[in-house]
Structure 1
Amino acid sequence: AERYETVLEASELAMDLHALPYGDRTEIGERGINLSGGQKARVAIARAMYRSNYDILLLDDPLSAVDPHVAHGIFDKCIMGLAESKTRVLVLNSHYDLLNRADKVLVIRDGVIAGDGTFKEVVAMFPELDMHDATGRSIETTQHCDDDAMLDKREPEKISASAIRAKLEEDGDDNRQLIQEEDRIKGTVTGDVYKTYFDESGMNGLVVIFLIVVFYTVSQAVRVVVDWWPSHWAKNMPRRDVDPTYSGEDFALWYVALIVLATVLTLGRALYLTETCVRTSKNLHNELFRRVLSAPVNRSFDVTPVGRVLNRFSNDLDQVDSVLPKDYQIVAQHASMALGSFVVSAFVSYWIAVAYIPIITVFFVTGQYFKKTSCEVKRLEGVTRTPVYNLFSETLSGLQTIRAFKMRDTFERLNKKVVDENASMYITYWSAGRWLAARLDMLSVVIIVIVTAYLVSTNGELSAMTAGLSLTYSLMLTAVVQWVTWSADQVDSAMTSVERLLHFRNIPHEEDAPDCTPINSAVWPSQGAIKFDSLCLKYRPELPLVLRGVSMDIRGGEKVGICGRTGAGKSSLMIALFRICEFDSGSVVIDGLDISKLKLHDLRRSLAIIPQDPVLFSGPLRENLDPFGEYTDAEIWTVLQQVHMADSLAKWGAGLDFEVSECGDNLSVGQRQLVCIGRALLKNSKIVVLDEATANVDTATDALIQATIRQTFADKTVLIIAHRINTIMQQDRGHGRRPGG
């Protein structure tokens, strides 16, 4: 516990724990969505510092995400403090004023070591690395942008993690869980789910079900006639010498015609049902996909793990695509066969029909009893599959960290645990199926015994052909009733996937106001003036406000720098501007229009943002810069030159067709950020937001990008969130943020 407190203090996390709603027990969500970029970096540093059994400490530029004051604190307390006896390798893209504290400095350019020596030796070769003034003081730290120095003169109260936990136990707050448990309906699948499923075909679900019943009934009736026709033909053969209408050729032609009709009807019914299921699956997928894309980030994606969404769109949709059409075919086919068999057997003797009624009732009751269990087990199998997807996704994204911290055994144990839980439900489901099969077999034997006993008791009163047809259909009935019961259960189980998919139809989605003001995003905004008026914002209704009464006027074309400590609400201003979260109260007005009265598509298309976490997609670089194909190659190359990536791209050889890997992993973080900046430059919006956009590039590149922004965005309104003071000082005006203020 003592080391834990020491590490938190050294990594500058103590104040953040105090600000988080539940201290170190706050659920940070998948990929740390509840943390800012600087907080993520400090958590990673604290995780490394907490380990004691290491000899070499590798730090891949974690300080770029924090302001100079915090960077110096981490450097003094962690790198030069807790790790003072270790070999430390620190990569820097900024905070070059720390280089004079290093025993040895390496300068790497274009993949080769361009400088190697002490700080003085390296500075002699690369003067731009000297970030100290004439008195030897750090330029960055004497002018750092930090709320302790600029925004809040009060000395923060130091509260330990243990004190925070003690307070939480007293409060007993039950709302600290971020990721909610997966929904699960209990009981058998309701008729509404079936109707809704067939409604997705484009017709009324009840009409579709009626047509399927008619097609299969008529088709089976013709098949029964085909089976009956040979006995009818043989029975009337002696009459052909007396009556010419009973000729063998006519019987043969009728037989062939009936076979052709039965074949056409059987094929037609199968095609109709399959086409209906495929159309339903397609429409269901498209609707759910639109729902997910329009879901609000704060109330949906922040509380729903990616694995849960992947589970619905992979396994559950596979059940709808592949399993349901087949199972519906089996149910409809065998149900019609069972009906035909029952009618034929009843035609032979109503006593057989009377004997069938209680037995078929037992079949039905057994199936219904089993269905309650099988549906629940199937739902549990789906629910326990989600953690498998979640863990797999997290393991892939954090593979380097897992290996670096030798946590492979831990993750293997976690994987075995979640896979075992899912496999136990899977095995239980199929084992329960064997239970049903055994009981259906016993009931089938009873049917065969009853029919055979009756036929024997008739003492030849029935013709051989009639008795044979009756016995054949009785044997068929026992088989098909088993199949109907079994496949009906399979359909019911597969329909739990439809049930789970339909839940996504109920997720909240972003909506435009009913009285939206129409705008032309090509000409609006024309000035770029922004007014925040008493703006209050919270990410979710149960959470505290992150913005409290913010008021600010920004003139058109003005460049405004926004600074503040991590968690102060800098990025929340941008979330409000793009209406990622709807306001609790207050308003944001752009060029005289309240943005809450605008269509979301028009609003967001009129603004440009360069995010803190650069996002790229696999595919050609051209498509990442110009996803809609609106610009020429010459315009794209001009932008690449402006963001200083043209030379690098020329060396790679493929030009604009350079293939970006998944998530841009074949580019450095800084290069990914430059691509995002280029994308915003191409868009040429009147209002541009940069959210720590140059945090992951070196100081020289940052200066070049800032010069490019000043030239290219000279007539644009630019909001810049940054922790580098030189970035803020170059703007027309600065805006300081303290938490919630």
Structure 2
Amino acid sequence: MKDGEITDFGTYEELCSRKNSTFDELLKELRIKQQEEEENVEDATLVEEMNDVLLELIGSPTNRELQVHRRARTTSDEMLIGRQISVSSTHSNSSHPIICRSTSHLANAKLVEDEELAAGKVNSKMYLEYIKACGVGLCVAFFFTMFLVHAVLEGTSKIWLSKWTTEMASNFTQTNPVIDLGIYAGFGFSSFIFLSLARTMVAVGSHRASKKLHDGLLFSLLRSPMTFFDTTPVGRILNRLSNDIEKIDDDVPGKMGFTTGTSIGGLLGQIARNVKDLEQSIVSVERVQEYVDNEHEAEWDSLASPRLTWPEKGEVKFSDFSLKYRQNTPLVLKHLNLTVFPGQKVGIVGRTGAGKTSLTMALFRIVEPATGTIFIDDVDFRNEATAAVDVETDQLIQQSIRTEFSNCTILTIAHRLNTILDYDKVLVMDSGEIREFDSPKKLLENKQSLFYGLAVQAKLI
């Protein structure tokens, strides 16, 4: 069936004999899927035997040192166990040793990194970072207003009130209550003005600090490399942008403003509680600053922009190009030296894990190179080609490439070998290295070549 219509009808042998039919296309897709499964799982029977052995070992008191964390019995889990365990003998009395590969490397191979938890007092640097975000000048003006002007006015008003009451008690007829009351009211009103000014400074400074820290966090996240998002859960990032920013918006300004702007006398207990709350809230600044200081990818805007007519020819050159996804992982592309001349069409093939996708990510600059670079028309830059989709869409893409881009340099990451047989050259990748690079005709003439073996597996020969 296709699009609600019957396209083929017959026995299995009859349908197999019809070339280029819908059934033939389905068989080709099935062969490709079977080849991928065979590459991932070499011996499913051996994996089942290993699972049975593991169950025996877990329950055996003589093998306490072997610790196996067994998850749901899915295909991926069986693959994981199959890669980690090597069995030399599975005799029931355990008289022959069972050799297990070391699993200590799993700790280093863990993808998601644990979140760092700090203990003890908050680093005083975080207070300085918040003050810088508020604005040093504004903070100095705030402290000057609160601790000098406001304190002087408040203290002077109390001294004047004491003097006024003493004079009234000793000589009531000689005092002028209107003048004395006006002076006392002037001190109180001035104190209120400066207190309001200080509160305004807190509001302006906290808004400035919150905006600066949020913008810095967002800027850093947008420029973090892809490896950061591979190793950091999305929830952890959202928590920085929501919960921590909310505390910086609401909690930190109130605690800091109240603590520094309150008179000492009679409020020591309240000040102590606010200092403690401030210390807990300022942790959010530390958590945000952790992501602000992330390692960033290369600059988005280059000072040396290419020519307006670039690229004129389309020559692509890999110069000692190596690639790794993280600093503590091995190279996935190893010292590639390759030149694709203008107008050539090069198909890139290889088994799963050979480095085809990594080469695409390098051209996209999703991952920065470990060594070397890529030159396009003698300009240090990296770009990308295409990928593979379903059979019908793939045919449309190949037809468009042949008609609309006949004079362009094309790099094709090929998942179907028949789409690149008419290309100028074929690049065969294996374990991140270039194994073969020649025309399809010459590679197929050599029956010992890797490309010939791939063509045989794809039933093209």
Give the counterpart letter for 1:738 in structure 2.
D
Match of 1:102?
Answer: none
Alpha-carbon distance change, 141 to 320 in structure 1, aligned in 2, over 3 angstroms:
closer
| Paired residues for 1:433-582 under 5 Å | 477=266, 480-511=267-298, 518-520=304-306, 522-582=308-368
The separation in 1 between residues aligned to 2:364 and 2:7, in whole angstroms, is 48
2:84 touches 2:103 (CA, 8 Å); kept in 1? Answer: no
Once the two structures are superposed, residues 141-192 of structure 1 have per-residue CA deviations (whole angstroms, 9 ceiling, x without a partner) of 899997999xx9xxx7997454532367436324122212111222101222
Alpha-carbon distance change, 162 to 500 in structure 1, aligned in 2, over 3 angstroms:
closer
Once the two structures are superposed, residues 63-89 of structure 1 have per-residue CA deviations (whole angstroms, 9 ceiling, x without a partner) of xxxxxxxxxxxxxxxxxxxxxxxxxxx
2:185 aligned with 1:256: yes
Give the counterpart letter for 1:312 in structure 2.
R
Q: Which runs of 5+ in 1 are unaligned?
A: 1-105, 342-476, 596-602, 610-688
Alignment partner of 1:200: what SS?
Answer: helix
The structure 2 residue matched to 1:740, chosen from 432, 450, 454, is: 432
Match of 1:319?
Answer: 247
Match of 1:46?
Answer: none
2:416 aligned with 1:720: no
1:526 touches 1:591 (CA, 8 Å); kept in 2? Answer: yes
1:531 touches 1:553 (CA, 8 Å); kept in 2? Answer: yes
Query: TM-score scaled by structure 1?
Result: 0.46
| Paired residues for 1:58-69 under 5 Å | none
Alpha-carbon distance change, 120 to 252 in structure 1, aligned in 2, over 3 angstroms:
farther
2:349 touches 2:356 (CA, 8 Å); kept in 1? Answer: yes
2:150 touches 2:195 (CA, 8 Å); kept in 1? Answer: yes
Alpha-carbon distance change, 544 to 119 in structure 1, aligned in 2, over 3 angstroms:
farther
Give the counterpart letter for 1:545 in structure 2.
L
Alignment partner of 2:410: what SS?
Answer: strand
2:383 aligned with 1:691: no
| Paired residues for 1:151-162 under 5 Å | 160=47, 162=81
The structure 1 residue matched to 2:206, chosen from 277, 299, 305, is: 277
The separation in 2 between residues aligned to 1:140 and 1:194, in whole angstroms, is 61
2:78 aligned with 1:186: no
The separation in 1 between residues aligned to 2:172 and 2:229, in whole angstroms, is 79
The separation in 2 between residues aligned to 1:163 and 1:727, in whole angstroms, is 34
Alignment partner of 1:551: what SS?
Answer: strand
Give the counterpart letter for 1:485 in structure 2.
A
Once the two structures are superposed, residues 407-433 of structure 1 have per-residue CA deviations (whole angstroms, 9 ceiling, x without a partner) of xxxxxxxxxxxxxxxxxxxxxxxxxxx
Match of 1:303?
Answer: 231
2:101 aligned with 1:177: no
Give the counterpart letter for 1:199 in structure 2.
K
Q: Which runs of 5+ in 2 are unaligned?
A: 48-79, 87-99, 434-461
2:354 touches 2:431 (CA, 8 Å); kept in 1? Answer: yes
Alpha-carbon distance change, 699 to 258 in structure 1, aligned in 2, over 3 angstroms:
same
The separation in 2 between residues aligned to 1:116 and 1:545, in whole angstroms, is 50
The separation in 2 between residues aligned to 1:143 and 1:329, in whole angstroms, is 67
Give me the CA root mean square deviation. Answer: 3.8
Shift of 1:487: 0.7
Alpha-carbon distance change, 227 to 143 in structure 1, aligned in 2, over 3 angstroms:
closer
Alpha-carbon distance change, 522 to 287 in structure 1, aligned in 2, over 3 angstroms:
farther
Shift of 1:273: 1.7
The structure 1 residue matched to 2:85, chosen from 154, 166, 170, is: 166
The separation in 1 between residues aligned to 2:283 and 2:261, in whole angstroms, is 22
1:563 touches 1:728 (CA, 8 Å); kept in 2? Answer: no
Match of 2:5?
Answer: 115
Shift of 1:287: 1.6
Shift of 1:531: 1.2
Alpha-carbon distance change, 213 to 495 in structure 1, aligned in 2, over 3 angstroms:
same
The separation in 2 between residues aligned to 1:548 and 1:282, in whole angstroms, is 44
Once the two structures are superposed, residues 485-527 of structure 1 have per-residue CA deviations (whole angstroms, 9 ceiling, x without a partner) of 10100100011111111112332112469xx881336432222
Identity %: 27
2:8 touches 2:23 (CA, 8 Å); kept in 1? Answer: no
The separation in 1 between residues aligned to 2:342 and 2:308, in whole angstroms, is 17
The structure 2 residue matched to 1:197, chosen from 130, 153, 176, is: 130
2:122 touches 2:283 (CA, 8 Å); kept in 1? Answer: yes
2:7 touches 2:22 (CA, 8 Å); kept in 1? Answer: no
1:146 touches 1:563 (CA, 8 Å); kept in 2? Answer: no
Shift of 1:562: 1.9
Shift of 1:569: 0.8
2:73 aligned with 1:286: no
The separation in 1 between residues aligned to 2:206 and 2:223, in whole angstroms, is 26
2:315 touches 2:341 (CA, 8 Å); kept in 1? Answer: yes
Give the counterpart letter for 1:482 in structure 2.
G
The separation in 2 between residues aligned to 1:691 and 1:293, in whole angstroms, is 25
Shift of 1:288: 2.1
The structure 2 residue matched to 1:331, chosen from 259, 276, 283, is: 259
1:147 touches 1:737 (CA, 8 Å); kept in 2? Answer: no
1:568 touches 1:737 (CA, 8 Å); kept in 2? Answer: yes
The separation in 2 between residues aligned to 1:562 and 1:719, in whole angstroms, is 7
2:151 aligned with 1:223: no
1:690 touches 1:718 (CA, 8 Å); kept in 2? Answer: no
The separation in 2 between residues aligned to 1:548 and 1:294, in whole angstroms, is 26
Shift of 1:724: 2.7
| Paired residues for 1:662-681 under 5 Å | none
Match of 1:350?
Answer: none
The separation in 1 between residues aligned to 2:84 and 2:391, in whole angstroms, is 40
Once the two structures are superposed, residues 300-322 of structure 1 have per-residue CA deviations (whole angstroms, 9 ceiling, x without a partner) of 22221212111111111111111
Once the two structures are superposed, residues 428-449 of structure 1 have per-residue CA deviations (whole angstroms, 9 ceiling, x without a partner) of xxxxxxxxxxxxxxxxxxxxxx
The separation in 2 between residues aligned to 1:539 and 1:740, in whole angstroms, is 13
| Paired residues for 1:49-64 under 5 Å | none
Alpha-carbon distance change, 220 to 521 in structure 1, aligned in 2, over 3 angstroms:
farther
Shift of 1:195: 0.9
Match of 2:456?
Answer: none
2:318 touches 2:337 (CA, 8 Å); kept in 1? Answer: yes
The structure 2 residue matched to 1:268, chosen from 180, 190, 197, is: 197
Shift of 1:128: 7.7
Alpha-carbon distance change, 490 to 503 in structure 1, aligned in 2, over 3 angstroms:
same
Give the counterpart letter for 2:252 in structure 1.
L
Match of 1:588?
Answer: 374
Structure number with higher helix proportion: 1
Alpha-carbon distance change, 503 to 144 in structure 1, aligned in 2, over 3 angstroms:
closer
2:8 touches 2:22 (CA, 8 Å); kept in 1? Answer: no
The structure, 1 or 2, with the larger RCO (C-alpha pairs under 8 Å, 6+ apart) is: 1
Give the counterpart letter for 1:130 in structure 2.
T
